[in-house]
Structure 1
Amino acid sequence: MKVTINRWNAVSTWHWGDTRDEVCGICRVAFEGTCPGCKYPGDDCPLMIGECSHAFHMHCLLNWLSTEASRGLCPMCRRRFQTAKAVE
């Protein structure tokens, strides 16, 4: 028996592969979305991943780090926040 495909509708999904999290640890919005201060996903709201593997929207993290209470620490694990090295 031979089958002929007349029409094919493909569907795909994507996710940030460098992190174990699915939502921002600060605003709790999915990374596929944007932080509360942005309108559109994409370049305006990139992902920031720390050496501790916790990930945040850039704007959420910058706002967090600018507060006196943060003391430069990751809001999830309280280690000194350092961005992870880029994988080439």
Structure 2
Amino acid sequence: MSEQMDVDNASPSPQPQQPNKPKKKRFEVKKWTAVAFWSWDQSNETCAICRNHLMEPCIECSGSGKDRSNCPRAVGVCNHSFHLHCIDTWIKTRNSCPLDSSEWTLKEVLQN
């Protein structure tokens, strides 16, 4: 089989290309909608100290009359996250991560 098949051609028999005739499109993309998934770069979704979800306020913020939407999260170098108020209280008694008992070192503080 020495001759090449034209893959773009819809008919089974090969036809010679005509130089002046534009190629007919098989289909055209009229609209494209991208879908993506994302997640936090952290190991946990729940504060291991107060057991509330990290996107919800901690016990201190939910019990007080202050702004409940502004409860920052603390992320350690071990990639475990806690409410900032919870880990501050925890660190006063012991300087270790509540989940893996490694030495607690703060990597960043994130606002919800």
TM-score, reference length from structure 2: 0.54
2:107 is paired with a residue whose SS is coil
Gaps of 5+ in 1: 1-14
* Cα pair distance change 1:58/1:28, threshold 3 Å: same
Q: Which residue of 1 aligns with 2:73?
A: 47
Q: Which residue of 2 aligns with 1:32?
A: 55
Mapped partners of 1:78, 1:84: distance in 2: 16
User: Are the counterparts in 1 of residues 72 and 83 from structure 2 also a CA contact under 8 Å?
Assistant: yes
Cα deviations across residues 36-67 of structure 1 (Å, max 9, x unaligned)? 0103122xx20101111111000000000112
2:78 is paired with a residue whose SS is coil
Question: Aligned-residue CA RMSD in angstroms?
Answer: 2.0
User: Are the counterparts in 1 of residues 49 and 98 from structure 2 also a CA contact under 8 Å?
Assistant: yes
Q: After the TM superposition, list the runs of 4 or more consecutive aligned residues in structure 1 that deviate by more than 6 angstroms.
A: none
Equivalent pairs, count: 67
The structure with the largest alpha-carbon Rg is 2
Q: How does 1:1-88 map to 2 (within 5 A)?
A: 17-39=40-62, 40-42=68-70, 45-67=71-93, 70=94, 72-84=95-107
* Cα pair distance change 1:31/1:63, threshold 3 Å: same
User: Are the counterparts in 2 of residues 16 and 31 from structure 1 also a CA contact under 8 Å?
Assistant: no
Letter in 2 for 1:18: D
User: Are the counterparts in 2 of residues 65 and 73 from structure 1 also a CA contact under 8 Å?
Assistant: yes
Gaps of 5+ in 2: 1-37, 63-67
